[in-house]
């Protein structure tokens, strides 16, 4: 069994120009982008390649765009003999990256993954009126201290832990006033920095329940296969393969905490993974991996040069 896991980035990694070098270099990448465009009835690829950035950053666009970029890398690798089930023991994705991971592992078709992420992005945006929710990064606090900050800041309003991204990097999410209180409280509890994040909605908190309900309905309608390798789920930090459980955990994930620190720790300890390979745009997960599991190797594969180097290394 391979000691590698493929990981897939989440929102925030998008950037104008994403995927364009792959599309220019590889017909397989062009096919992915064309298929996503067709599934959405929108030239998402043009928005990815050319912007404008404000439109790309919209949750309903950023989510399928990030999945498309990840799948373009995956299809290019497959065309060159690098097959996921032969090269990876597990997949994992950060928030929307779980859909990319499951598409790569054969649970969802590419068109279904794109449509689900469009629904997810729209539902998350609509769940809370603009201005009524916020998120903040608490840097330099451990998870227990961050939980204490959130509890103190709530004062009857929602203030939840949204992401445990890496040691000393915890994100809180909830009602705007509560999150603003959390920023001040965190500074008093020794946070190195505490800052509001430039997001359009408070993801991964209980205010997202309407979006979770929308995803339960959407996922119930979609054909799902068992992934060719297990998914280490955000809400469990443990591997799952049963389509019914995957469906349930994807619904829970909308309001639940992204347990990324624990997920990478599970992969590199119990999972026996020594190599974490991030497929898609940016290098956010690669940076987090180096902080969570210093002994593991971590790399990002997102450009033609990355693809060539990775294939050469594998001897594929």
Extended beta strands in the chain, E state? 4-8, 90-93, 133-139, 159-166, 169-175, 193-196, 231-233, 238-240, 275-279, 297-301
pLDDT digits (tens, 9 = 90+) for 151-199: 999 999 999 999 999 999 999 999 999 999 999 999 999 999 999 998 8
Strands 231-233 and 238-240: antiparallel
Q: Residue 303 catalytic?
A: no
1 band by pLDDT with thresholds 50, 70 and 90? very low
**Could you tell me the CA-to-CA distances from 291 to 15, 139, 145, 277, 299 in Å, in that order?**
23, 13, 19, 15, 13
Listed in sequence order, the residues at least 6 apart from 289 whose beta carbon sits closer than 8 Å to its beta carbon are 7, 264, 276, 278, 296, 298
pLDDT digits (tens, 9 = 90+) for 195-243: 999 888 999 999 999 999 999 999 999 999 999 999 999 999 999 999 9
Listed in sequence order, the residues at least 6 apart from 299 whose beta carbon sits closer than 8 Å to its beta carbon are 275, 276, 277, 278, 286, 306, 310
130 band by pLDDT with thresholds 50, 70 and 90? confident
Strands 159-166 and 169-175: antiparallel
pLDDT digits (tens, 9 = 90+) for 259-275: 999 999 999 999 999 99
Report the alpha-carbon distance of residue 313 to residue 316 in Å, rounded: 8
Please pick, among 95, 173, 200, 263, the residue that the annotation labels catalytic.
Answer: 95
Q: Residue 204 catalytic?
A: yes
Report the alpha-carbon distance of residue 240 to residue 236 in Å, rounded: 9
The candidate with the shortest Cα–Cα distance to 87, out of 314, 242, 299, is 314
Tell me what pLDDT residue 316 has.
Answer: 63
pLDDT of 55 strictly over 70 = yes
Query: Which structural domains are found in the chain, ordered by start?
Result: 4-127+207-314 (3.40.366.10), 133-199 (3.30.70.250)
pLDDT digits (tens, 9 = 90+) for 26-45: 999 999 999 999 999 999 99
Q: What angle do CA 230, 235, 241 make, to 5 degrees?
A: 20
Report the alpha-carbon distance of residue 68 to residue 280 in Å, rounded: 8
Please pick, among 13, 45, 200, 204, the residue that the annotation labels catalytic.
Answer: 204
Among positive and negative, which fits the CA dihedral 253, 259, 260, 263?
negative
- By percentage, how much of the chain surpasses pLDDT 70? 99
By CB neighbour count within 10 A (0-12 exposed, 13-18 middle, 19+ buried), where does 41 fall?
Answer: exposed
């Amino acid at each position: 069994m391979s000691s590698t896991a493929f990981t897939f980035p989440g929102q925030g990694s998008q950037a104008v120009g994403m995927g364009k070098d792959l599309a220019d270099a590889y017909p397989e990448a062009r096919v992915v982008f064309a298929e996503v465009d067709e599934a959405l009835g929108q030239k998402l690829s043009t928005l990815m390649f050319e912007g404008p950035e404000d439109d790309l950053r919209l949750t309903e666009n950023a989510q399928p765009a990030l999945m498309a970029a990840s799948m373009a890398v995956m299809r290019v690798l497959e065309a060159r003999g690098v097959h996921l089930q032969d090269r990876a023991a597990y997949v994992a994705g950060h928030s929307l990256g779980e859909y990319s991971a499951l598409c790569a592992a054969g649970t969802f078709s590419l068109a279904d993954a794109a449509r689900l992420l469009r629904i997810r992005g729209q539902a998350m945006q609509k769940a809370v009126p603009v201005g009524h929710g916020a998120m903040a990064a608490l840097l330099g606090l451990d998870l227990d201290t961050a939980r204490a900050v959130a509890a103190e800041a709530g004062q009857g309003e929602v203030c939840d832990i949204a992401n445990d991204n890496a040691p000393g990097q915890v994100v809180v999410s909830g009602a705007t006033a509560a999150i603003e209180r959390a920023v001040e409280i965190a500074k008093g509890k020794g946070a190195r920095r505490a800052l509001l994040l430039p997001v359009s909605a408070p993801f991964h908190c209980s205010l997202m329940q309407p979006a979770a309900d929308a995803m339960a309905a959407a996922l119930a309608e979609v054909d799902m296969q068992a992934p060719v390798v297990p998914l280490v789920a955000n809400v469990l930090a443990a591997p799952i393969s049963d389509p019914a459980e995957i469906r349930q955990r994807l619904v829970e994930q909308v309001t639940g905490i992204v347990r990324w620190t624990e997920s990478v720790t599970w992969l590199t300890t119990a999972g026996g993974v020594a190599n974490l390979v991030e497929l898609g745009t940016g290098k956010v997960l690669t940076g987090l991996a180096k902080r969570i599991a210093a002994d593991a190797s971590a790399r990002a594969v997102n450009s033609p040069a990355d693809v060539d180097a990775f294939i050469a290394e594998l001897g594929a």
